[in-house]
Amino acid sequence: MTRTTTRARLIISRLLMAAALATAAPVVQAPALAQSTAAPSAGPAEPALIEDLVAAGRILVNQGVLDGFGHVSVRHPKDPTRFLMARSVAPALVVADDIVEHDLDGNGIDAKGRTLFLERFIHAEVYRARPDVMAVVHSHSPATIPFGASQVPMRAMFHNSAFLAAGVPVFEIRKAGGMTNMLVGSGALGKALAEALGDKPAVLMRGHGNVVVGPSIQLAVFRAVYLEVNARLQLQAISLGGPITYLEAEEGVKADKVNEVISARPWDIWKKQALGK
Ligand code: MN
């Protein structure tokens, strides 16, 4: 074998190795890292809406629904393909300047280098799947966890949680992603979660928490609060033993119509307490 042939073979083998590496490259999870896009903004939202979004996070902390984790978002009033949500920060610390416009692929619009929530895909895919949804809450509210992990379905205990009488599905992340880190950190997992939610107002996430949606920030917050309360009450009712009479679907529809109107009353006091004004 001549020296030239050996060198030629070496070059060819290096080229093949480079080609193999190039082919393998897409395995790296790129979407979660692609946080910002230069796409034009849908424009500024009303300051009153931003104030309500900031208040929503603090209310949910005060009510024991959110802690250092979890997030609230609202669909952009000027563009249904955008939503507004804080950068990655504890909900009680969110201020107006932390709110970032997101698109439905989970990109931040002009995020200015700010880190976004890993689970922003929950919100993005729910807004994509559900044109009726204007606000989304994702929490790890503790009393709901047993219902996501056991075979006992969550059911509506009382009129404030009437929205649950429509049925409460459970999202099993293993079905969509096998053995994951339990987080909805990609568009594919967000889509599977939105499918599990279906046309319902809430979905439990096995081993994780829940997602609650609504036609306004006020109603989504109301529902997130009473989902947690309902879980505590149902656990108490079960511990009493014997049969439990839950709300029927028809009672749920009727009571939820009232809740849609009166949810403004607790909101007013919760917001006052949350913002100190
Ligand atoms: Mn989470």
**pLDDT digit string (tens) for 153-163?**
999 999 999 99
Q: Which entry of 101, 119, 125, 228 is annotated as an active-site residue?
A: 119
CA of 110 to the centre of ligand 1 (A): 24
Q: Which residues pair with 247 in a beta bridge?
A: none
101 is catalytic: no
pLDDT of residue 277: 75
Which sign, positive or negative, has the C-alpha torsion 172, 175, 177, 178?
Answer: positive
pLDDT, mean of residues 219-243: 98
Q: Which residue has the higher pLDDT, 86 or 13?
A: 86
pLDDT of residue 115: 96
Fold assignment, 36-275:
L-fuculose-1-phosphate Aldolase (3.40.225)
Q: Give backbone dihedrals phi and psi of 171, rounded to 5 degrees, phi first.
A: -90, 120
CA of 138 to the centre of ligand 1 (A): 7
DSSP 119: T
CA of 260 to the centre of ligand 1 (A): 26
Question: Model-level pTM?
Answer: 0.87
CA of 16 to the centre of ligand 1 (A): 42
Residue 108 C-beta-side C-alpha neighbours within 13 Å:
23
